[in-house]
Amino acid sequence: MLGTTLNHKIIPRDYDVFAGTDVDKRNYAVTFLDHQGRSKSIAMNAKPEQLVQTTRNLFPGKKVCFAYEAGPTGFGLYDHLTQEAFTCLVLAPSMIATAPGLRVKTNRLDSRNIALQLRGGELNGIYVPSLVYRDLRHLVHLRDVLAHERSAYKCRIKSLLLLENFPSSGTWNSAFIQHLRSLPCRPILRFKLDQLIDHLHYTHQQVIKAQKEIRRFCTQEQQLAVSISLIQSIGGLGWITSSHLLSRIGDPTFLRRAEQISSFIGLTPRENSTGDSIRRGSITRIGDPRLRSKLIQVAWVAIRKDPQLADFYHRIYQRHPKDEAPKKAIVAVANKLCRRIYAVLKHKQPYQVRSVQQQEAVCARGQTRRLREREEATL
């Protein structure tokens, strides 16, 4: 299926030529490198067809592996190269090593650096989602942009009310909007306030339209519908967070470990350990900050619905000073939610809420089984 690639590392001996590519919207800078150290750097227009034809003319019958940095040009080059039966890695820019003392940076040098590291087997390709997940990502991004604009107009209205010494407190519902429209004020102020309210109403309608389209698209696509229903079986997770999460992690069948989701979102702690000393700090905060924020908000809802999560929250809370305990405990709950999401997606079974006593019984049975296995192993 088009555009379905998991993070992977190539085996250099399986290829004859390594093509490091620096991509922008107008040009490609490509450096071809083989195992004997022979290299050839060329520049061309940003046309995938031309790159494919040039490669076949220069290296007929050779196995060529391409790599380029992920960026604003998207996955178009990747799609075309894979359709033409070439191997292509899309690289995270932060994971490409550069010399600390480097003072000259050009497209040609960047492409050569990628080719050298590709030949050395030092580069991992990022996950490339299929077209279904890319389309869902577009919808989710549009919804978040519109929601941000809606919040911005609310802030502008409140700032205007504060500036003109009007009461600015109130719930953003139809009654409050009607109150703002009937507020007695100067003509110019009335005009500005009405314009802001009109823009607020328009963006609100656009947010609703985007949410309906996300729901329609996810219901129409069977693989999305099944995954979202599984995610929503976990308390606190609704359509907005579930669709955003699925658009980012992509096809759940590629998940390998429970830690992958939390690590991808940036909810795992930093670590700087050496020898016997273990130093862990704040969370890494890599990945999509909007998704991370949504999951932390979901965690606050989940601890009110799930007694096991509530008990987990309070146990983490008691381990830390009072000023930072709520933040650390709720992040730990969000991390635990990511593991539950992995479990329901991997096993394709909805989550069943257990009481604290039931969970303790399950843990006790697991400990008993492990002890029995150890005893049998020593016999």
pLDDT tens-place string over residues 195-204: 999 999 999 9
In this structure, are 266 and 174 located in the same domain? Answer: no
| Residue 20 pLDDT exceeds 50 | yes
For range 150-174, the mean pLDDT? 91
Question: Percentage of the chain surpassing pLDDT 90?
Answer: 77
Domain count, the chain: 3
For range 301-319, the mean pLDDT? 93
Please list, in sequence order, all residues whose beta carbon lies within 8 angstroms of the beta carbon of residue 231, skipping any fewer than 6 positions away: 237, 242, 245, 246, 341, 344, 345
**Residue 186 domain-assigned (yes or no):** yes
Query: What token pair was written down for 233?
Result: 């079986």
In this structure, are 119 and 200 located in the same domain? Answer: no
In this structure, are 29 and 98 located in the same domain? Answer: yes
For range 114-121, the mean pLDDT? 96
In this structure, are 79 and 191 located in the same domain? Answer: no
Name which residue leads in pLDDT, 289 or 377: 289
| Residue 356 pLDDT exceeds 80 | no
**Residue 237 domain-assigned (yes or no):** yes
Among 52-61, 145-154, 316-325, 347-356, which is the least confidently predicted range? 347-356
In this structure, are 31 and 148 located in the same domain? Answer: no
In DSSP terms, which residues pair with 283 in a beta bridge? 269
42-90 tens-digit pLDDT: 999 999 999 999 999 999 999 999 999 999 999 999 999 999 999 999 9
Question: Percentage of the chain surpassing pLDDT 70?
Answer: 91
Boundary residue ending a domain (220, 248, 272): 220
- Given a contact cutoff of 8 angstroms between Cβ atoms, the answer to whether 136 and 246 are in contact is yes
| pLDDT score of 271 | 84
Domain that holds residue 156: 131-220
- Res. 377 pLDDT band, cuts 50 70 90: very low
Our CA dihedral for 154, 160, 161, 165, rounded to 10 degrees, sits at 160
Query: Average pLDDT over the chain, rounded to whole?
Result: 90
| pLDDT score of 1 | 37
Residues making up the chain, counted from first to last: 379
| Residue 276 pLDDT exceeds 90 | no
Boundary residue ending a domain (105, 125, 145): 125
User: What proportions of the chain, in percent to the nearest 5, are helix, strand and coil?
Assistant: 60, 15, 30
In this structure, are 116 and 141 located in the same domain? Answer: no
For range 280-296, the mean pLDDT? 92
- Res. 364 pLDDT band, cuts 50 70 90: low
Name which residue leads in pLDDT, 10 or 272: 10
| Residue 139 pLDDT exceeds 70 | yes
| Residue 255 pLDDT exceeds 50 | yes
**Residue 373 domain-assigned (yes or no):** no
